[in-house]
Copies of this chain bind each other. A is one copy, B any other.
């Protein structure tokens, strides 16, 4: 019998999310026929895509093999085009970030994406031949909005209809999957962060901009044009000064984003002419903690606006968990109680009762891990890439028996990116 692509997808997807599973658990969770599961597992073990990592004894004493994805079965190039930094890395089959580079960017100066491509090329060249042949695809997390033609508009990267997809695909000889930073962050939180195995959860990326990523009933919310999650552009009660980068006035982002918190503080404290970009938002947080009334008023306004906008989100999506991420997590001690108060006030009856509000714990790797999840999940949906994920290692790979895939060996050199680069960090 021929193994159907869907059996591979269901089993890889389950092992990716649950980390480990027995044959019985796979049958139970996927609803697949036991014979199909056995056949598929046999194939995946033989190809080195999955491994048996131990045994579990059931109450009846029967041994059950515990299965796991083989971290070395394939690699993904991952890119995080964040609002203030750019990161490039290599992720293994389990989404671990094995190598990474990063560099700061000059805000609002047009960022040249060829810098990223140089980093990717360096990773590729530095990989041993056999490992290089196991590069499956790339995942890119970007800030801003991408249109149907793959052009990105992102104020912080200085991009207006910047041909991101074309630029990357011209240079990168592998399939590339894209998602905005909010989407990538919730993918990362769900696989290894505070939202693990939570089917209804939202990640709020509150920093230079405001974006979200949502899982609803176990699915990543994408929307008709892949543009779901524009929480930052909900029109709120506003003052004339709340002008948004998008051209509208009164967007949530024009009240709650880091530069706008600084702007409001400067306005309130009588320094409206100063450039908000000259002050990090953490200065306002520090002033508020010292009891500065202007800083407290700005934080109160931001917290209430964010709380009201989140109540709209909760009324519409009914999530179990909201994860706060981005620069604003450094002010969570000032914001969370206000947000909770507004949620309780504005949510429909019962919807806020069991809602959990937490701060992200992923740190700087969130975008890269999300890009890895994106690449893994999308590759498994593509017939040709699925063949590569589930097929045997390339023949040169292990001349001995041609069955196992050896751990990654990599010779990475530092260099090639611009002066501000932070160098190579191995995990």
On A, residues with C-beta under 8 Å from B are: 1-7, 9, 30-33, 35-36, 145, 147, 153, 199-200, 212, 214, 216-217, 219-235, 237, 246-248, 308, 311-313, 315-320, 345-351, 354
The one of B235, B320, B346 that contacts A308, using a Cβ cutoff of 8 Å: B235
**Complex contact A219–B222 (CB within 8 A):** no
Q: How far is the CA of A2 from the CA of B317 in the complex (A)?
A: 39
B346 to A228, Cβ gap below 8 A? Answer: no
Q: Which residues of B contact A232 (CB under 8 A)?
A: 348
CB distance from A392 to the nearest CB of B (A): 21
CB distance from A256 to the nearest CB of B (A): 14
For A9, the chain B residues whose CB sits under 8 A away are 31
Q: Are B227 and A217 in contact, with the CB atoms below 8 A?
A: no
Q: Beyond the given A228-B317, A231-B315, please list 11 additional residue pairs across the A-B interface where CB-CB is below 8 A.
A: A1-B1, A6-B30, A6-B31, A217-B219, A217-B223, A224-B318, A229-B316, A230-B315, A231-B316, A232-B348, A234-B315
A124 to B248 Cα, complex, angstroms: 58
Residue from the list B212, B308, B317 in contact with A221, Cβ < 8 A: B317
The 4 residue pairs across chains A and B that have the minimum distance between CB atoms: A223-B318, A4-B33, A233-B348, A230-B348
Question: Is A223 a contact partner of B317 (Cβ separation < 8 A)?
Answer: yes
A31's partner among B5, B345, B349 (CB-CB below 8 A) is B5
Q: Establish whether residues B346 and A235, one from each chain, have CB atoms under 8 Å apart when the complex forms.
A: yes
Tell me the bound Cα distance from A246 to B235 in angstroms: 24
Q: What are the residues of chain B within 8 A of A6 when measuring CB–CB?
A: 30-33
Given known contacts A235-B311, A311-B235, A346-B248, A316 and B228 CB-to-CB distance under 8 angstroms: yes
Chain B nearest CB, measured from A31 CB (Å): 4
Report B-chain residues with C-beta under 8 Å of the C-beta of A219: 216-217, 219
Decide if A318 touches B228 in the complex (CB within 8 Å): yes
Which of chain B's residues have a CB closer than 8 A to the CB of A216?
Answer: 216, 219, 221, 223, 228
Q: Could you jot down 10 A-B contacts, CB within 8 Å?
A: A4-B32, A6-B30, A6-B33, A199-B224, A223-B317, A223-B319, A225-B318, A225-B350, A234-B316, A246-B349
Given contacts A315-B231, A348-B246, contact A320 B224 (CB under 8 A): yes
Question: What residue in chain B is nearest A309 (Cβ atoms)?
Answer: B312
A316: chain B residues within 8 A (beta carbon): 212, 214, 228-231, 234, 312-313, 316-317
Q: Min CB distance, A211 to chain B, in Å?
A: 11
- Closest-by-CB residue of B relative to A233 is B348
CA gap between A348 and B180 in the complex, in Å: 15
CA distance A230 to B247 in the complex (A): 29
Our pick among B30, B237, B312 for the contact of A312 (Cβ within 8 Å) is B312
Closest to A235 in B: B346
CB proximity of A57 to chain B, nearest CB, Å: 28
Closest to A10 in B: B6
Report the minimum CB–CB distance from A26 to chain B (whole Å). 13
Q: Looking at A9, A348, A354, which has the most chain B CB atoms within 10 Å of its CB?
A: A348
Chain B residue contacts of A237, Cβ below 8 A:
237
Knowing A4-B36, A31-B4 touch, does A350 contact B228 (C-beta < 8 A)? Answer: no
- Report B-chain residues with C-beta under 8 Å of the C-beta of A246: 348-349
A221, A224, A247, A317: most-surrounded residue (chain B CB, <10 A): A224
- Residues of B within 8 Å of A347, CB to CB, are 230, 233
Q: Looking across the interface, which residue of chain B has its beta carbon closest to that of A237?
A: B237
Minimum distance in angstroms from A215 CB to a CB of chain B: 11
**Chain B residue nearest in CB terms to A3:** B33
Chain B residues in 8 Å Cβ range of A319: 223-224
Inside 8 A of A248's CB, which chain B residues have their CB? 345-346
Q: Within the complex, what minimum Cβ distance (angstroms) separates A267 from chain B? A: 23
Nearest CB of chain B from residue A146's CB, rounded to whole Å: 10
Which residues of chain B have C-beta atoms less than 8 A from A346's C-beta? 234-235, 248
CA–CA, A226 and B348, complex, Å: 13
